[in-house]
Amino acid sequence: MRKVSALLLATERRAISGLAGLYASRMLGLFMVLPVLALYADTLSGATPLLIGVALGIYGLTQATLQIPFGLLSDRIGRKRVIAMGLLIFAAGSVVAAMADSISGVILGRALQGCGAIAAAIMALLADQTREQVRTAAMATIGLSIGVSFAIAMVLGPWLAAWKGLAGVFWFTALLTLVGLVVLWRWVPPAPRRLRHRDVGMDRQQFKRIIMRPDLWRLDLSIFSLHLVLMAIFVAVPFRLLNAGVAIEYHGLAYLAIMALSFIAMVPLVIVAEKRQRMRLMCLLAIGAIVISLSSLSLPFSQQSWLLAWLFVFFTGFNLLEATLPSMLSKLAPAGAKGTAMGVYSTSQFLGAFLGGTLGGLLSNLWGLDAVFIGCAGLALLWWLAMWRMPSPPPLSSEVVALHDTQPDALNLLMEHLADVVGVEDVMVVPEERLMYLKVNRKELDQAALTRLLSPPKT
């Protein structure tokens, strides 16, 4: 084995910062529309609550359909080429939506935005450009950037719409995407290699094994349901704020206060979940908070404070789940299968976004705004019941180790010794990648024994 410093190299810092920025800016463009589309749709011909919901969520359908093919294509023709192609498609969709004067034009533009499905290619390029010792931290940076982009979108979207209208939001998104192209080619360094990474990419041989596991299935259900209710309620939330006396130009400030406070409230809950191994409890608590907040949002409010309070409860639960669900997935996924598990998880998320927007629009169209919250609360309650019997995930973490010797005899001997190390729960060796994937229990791990085994031979 070879031992490498975990300090970031200059090329790794550039890759992480550039690719995290690309991922975040793309998600920013998708999310900025959420708090404003329903309010400004009266300027679009043919707009109905149902079609507004479809416009909100349609990107999820095209994203779910194309993210895996785009990732596989990047293995063949190169990461940067696929990412650049996806960014151009995303920019084209933004321009189509910006120039649209009908709801069908916006739906087409949002669908095109989703066709720029570059998430898998970005993660693969990041894996190409980072060493195994720093890859987990690099992936965590991407995850953090998504959460930050969502919070910024909730504030920036209403401000841009109040200044330049709905079209201005889409034009800003197109401009941001073109800036992303410059970052991709001028800042992100060229990849020194193009390999398959089982901790990042999809492995079709493991697909059936992953989707048949009940513990992982529950997490897929969770991210599906979470983004379903998120998309659905944004057919109604902007009108709730308006009816409570919050002028359109102040919606951004309202979301700023809600998101900031919800992030502050989330942090100690995440610490409890991680440090005290209370993942299941925090998950049920978050879903319960979403059920209660959605039920309460269906009631008429005489004061703004109550509306803002229940939105704070909802987004605290939302942010807590966004932070803990990927962590639970990482703990539960078999060694060497995290990339496949994450691919199924992400597809579930995007399908939830599509169905959520459509469902929210349908409920609003048939029975009004209250029905959106009542229907989502009912679905969230079923989700809570489905998660009730979920066992607590074990305190496992993933490690990727570079192999020094890939001879069969040496690997077989290493596997035998690893099986005797206390705390090593699962091992997968991939000689063609010159990597070994481990799942270890940090609380029980005999770190000294593991270090001795993984140290390079003395010469």
Per CATH, which fold does 397-454 belong to?
Answer: Alpha-Beta Plaits (3.30.70)
Q: Are 3 and 402 in contact (CB under 8 A)?
A: no
Q: Provide φ and ψ at 254, rounded to 5°.
A: -60, -45
**What pLDDT score does 3 carry?**
39
Pick the CATH number of 202-393 from 1.20.1250.20, 1.10.300.10, 1.10.1740.10, 3.40.50.2300: 1.20.1250.20
Q: If you search the block for the tokens 């998320």, which residue do you land on? A: 349
The C-alpha atoms of residue 459 and residue 406 are separated, in whole angstroms, by 18
Query: Which residues pair with residue 441 across a beta bridge?
Result: 396
Mean local confidence (pLDDT), 235-249? 92
CA-CA distance, 310 to 298, in Å (whole number)? 10
pLDDT, tens only, 48-106: 999 999 999 999 999 999 988 888 888 788 889 999 999 999 999 999 999 999 999 99
Amino acid (1-letter code) at residue 206: Q
- Token pair, residue 73, equals 């294509």
Dmax (CA) of the chain: 78
What pLDDT is recorded for position 141?
83
Identify the pLDDT of residue 158: 95
2.50.20.10, 3.40.50.300, 1.20.1250.20, 1.10.10.10: CATH of 8-199? 1.20.1250.20
Same fold for the pair 8-199 and 202-393: yes
The residues that bridge with 45 in the sheet, in sequence order, are 102
How many Å apart are CA 411 and CA 406, to the nearest integer?
A: 6
Task: For residues 202 and 139, give the distance between their C-alpha atoms in angstroms, rounded to a whole number.
Answer: 16
Residue 112 pLDDT > 90, yes or no?
A: yes
Across the range 34-56, mean pLDDT stands at 95
Residue among 157, 276, 272, 294 at smallest CA distance from 225: 294
Give the pair of three-digit tokens for residue 227. Answer: 């983004």
Task: Tell me the mean pLDDT in the region 202-222.
Answer: 82
Instruction: Determine the Cα–Cα distance for residues 400 and 377; give it in Å rounded to an integer.
Output: 41
The mean of the pLDDT values for the chain is 87
Burial class (CB in 10 A: 0-12, 13-18, 19+), 274: middle
Sheet holding 396-402, edge to edge: 396-402, 435-441, 424-430
pLDDT over 90 at 446, yes or no: no
Cβ-based neighbours of 355, under 8 Å, separated by 6 or more? 57, 60, 228
Residues 6 or more apart from 201 whose CB is under 8 A from it?
71, 75, 120, 123, 124, 127, 339, 343
Query: Alpha carbon of 18 to those of 80, 90, 181, 189, 360: distances in Å?
Result: 12, 18, 10, 9, 35
Q: Which amino acid is at 293?
A: S
Task: Give the confidence band of 405 by pLDDT, cuts at 50, 70, 90.
Answer: low
- pLDDT, one tens digit per residue, over 351-365 is 999 999 999 999 999
Count CB neighbours of 186 within 10 A. Answer: 8
Q: What is the spatial distance between Cα 41 and Cα 35, in angstroms, rounded to a whole number?
A: 12
- pLDDT grade, residue 202 (50/70/90)? low
Q: Which has the closest alpha carbon to 364: 93, 19, 50?
A: 50
Domain boundaries, the chain: 8-199, 202-393, 397-454
How far apart are the C-alpha atoms of 4 and 372, rounded to whole Å? 53
173, 26 Cβ separation under 8 angstroms: no
Measured distance CA(288)–CA(280) in Å, rounded: 12
pLDDT at 236: 95
| Residue 390, phi then psi, degrees to nearest 5 | -70, 125
